[in-house]
Amino acid sequence: MTRFAYVNGRYETQRSASVSIEDRGYQFADGVYEVIALWNSCPIDLLGHMDRLERSMAEVKFPNPPSRTALKVIAQELVRLNRMGTGILYVQINRGAAPRNHPFPGDHINCSVVMTVRHGLGPSATEFQDGVGLKVEEDLRWLRRDIKTIGLLPNVLTKQAAKSVGAFEALLVNPDGTVTEASTANIWLVGADGILVTRPLGPEVLGGITRARVMALAKDAGRKVREATFTLDEVLSAREVFLTGTTTFVLPVSKIDETLISNGYPGEVACDLRDRYLTFLNSHNKETSWYVG
């Protein structure tokens, strides 16, 4: 089936779609992005993704950002053209095209807007059932990880390092031994007291939209949640460890390097939150899921 993309005002086949060679996203990684889950043709937590996208554009000082209403209309048409059911919607906004020079090109330049879709979403049944492995890697990313920038080379390198040893993800650790997140997901642990712990928001971690949703689901279920820094040793000795993210949902971690987490099988808390998140996904309808405020 032909796949369509949106690039700067035009819907084109992905094979023919292109951007300028002087686009600052291509030359400087001067851009931001969002990955939004599509479930039965409904975007998941679209409002949260739009809020985060606008914040990212403001933090990198885009002068003429596209409106969320315009982005919604483009996304709806792209979902229709591609007959999307379950998959992902990728949105990338770059500062625009201008002669190559490090300073901003000026307020007269319009942002570049690219959208694509891809079928398929979520971990496999085996990954849900058995949990996944992580490989510990030093966190080498820049100091503003709260901005969802397209400058992802450190994430790519750590993810590849994990893949090279058969692990699902990289667990990123600072030189002082504190854990930040995974290369493409937020990390959680369940302590001996049963309290869920995840990193507080700030420049060191990305404020995950799924993280926020799972936190709300956990509190609705009567579980205690604490936002705090924690060390690799605390993760390795935790009762449970799991990931959250747009494409990982709630995914149990069974092994980190050579250390089994608990008994090496998904724990009760992660499995319960996974089921609650799947119920949340199935609660969406097309009339309300496209609301952007």
pTM given for the model: 0.96
d(CA 253, CA 261): 7
Q: 3-class DSSP state for residue 11?
A: strand
Q: Is 148 a catalytic residue?
A: yes
Residue linked to tokens 């020079």:
101
Question: Which residue among 148, 159, 219, 224 is the active-site one?
Answer: 148
Burial string for 67-95 (b: 16+ CB within 10 Å, else e) reads ebeebbebbeebbeebebeebbbbbbbbb
Q: Give the model's pLDDT for residue 2.
A: 81
**pLDDT tens across 174-233, in order?**
999 999 999 999 999 999 999 999 999 999 999 999 999 999 999 999 999 999 999 999
* DSSP-assigned letters across all residues of 247-269: TTEEEEEEEETTEESTTSS--HH
CB atoms within 10 A of CB 234: 16
The percent of residues above 70 in pLDDT, for the chain, comes to 100
Q: 3-class DSSP state for residue 66?
A: coil
Q: 3-class DSSP state for residue 213?
A: helix
pLDDT band for position 287 (cuts 50, 70, 90): confident
Report yes or no: 44 and 36 within 8 Å, Cβ to Cβ: yes
d(CA 162, CA 3): 30
Sign of CA dihedral 223, 50, 112, 30: negative
**pLDDT tens across 111-153, in order?**
999 999 999 999 999 999 999 999 999 999 999 999 999 999 9
User: E strands along the chain, which residues?
Assistant: 4-7, 10-13, 31-39, 42-43, 87-94, 112-119, 132-138, 169-173, 179-182, 186-190, 196-198, 225-227, 240-245, 249-256, 259-260
- Two tokens, residue 54: 């606008």
CB atoms within 10 A of CB 127: 17
Q: Give the model's pLDDT for residue 213.
A: 98
Q: Give the model's pLDDT for residue 182.
A: 98
Please, what is the angle between helix 268-282 and helix 209-220, to 10°? 110
The percent of residues above 90 in pLDDT, for the chain, comes to 98
**pLDDT tens across 8-50, in order?**
999 999 999 999 999 999 999 999 999 999 999 999 999 999 9
Q: Give the model's pLDDT for residue 230.
A: 98
Residue 161 pLDDT > 90, yes or no?
yes
Mean pLDDT across the stretch 269-279?
Answer: 98
Q: Give the model's pLDDT for residue 78.
A: 97
Q: Which residue has the higher pLDDT, 53 or 286?
A: 53
Q: How far is CA 77 from CA 89, 189, 286, in A?
A: 12, 39, 13
- Report all structural domains of the chain as residue ranges with CATH numbers, in order of start: 4-121 (3.30.470.10), 125-281 (3.20.10.10)
- Across the chain, mean pLDDT equals 97
Determine the longest span between alpha carbons in the chain, in angstroms: 59
d(CA 85, CA 82): 9
d(CA 242, CA 169): 11
Report yes or no: 170 and 184 within 8 Å, Cβ to Cβ: no
Give the residue among 29, 40, 37, 36 at the shortest CA–CA distance from 50.
Answer: 36
Residue 1 pLDDT > 90, yes or no?
no
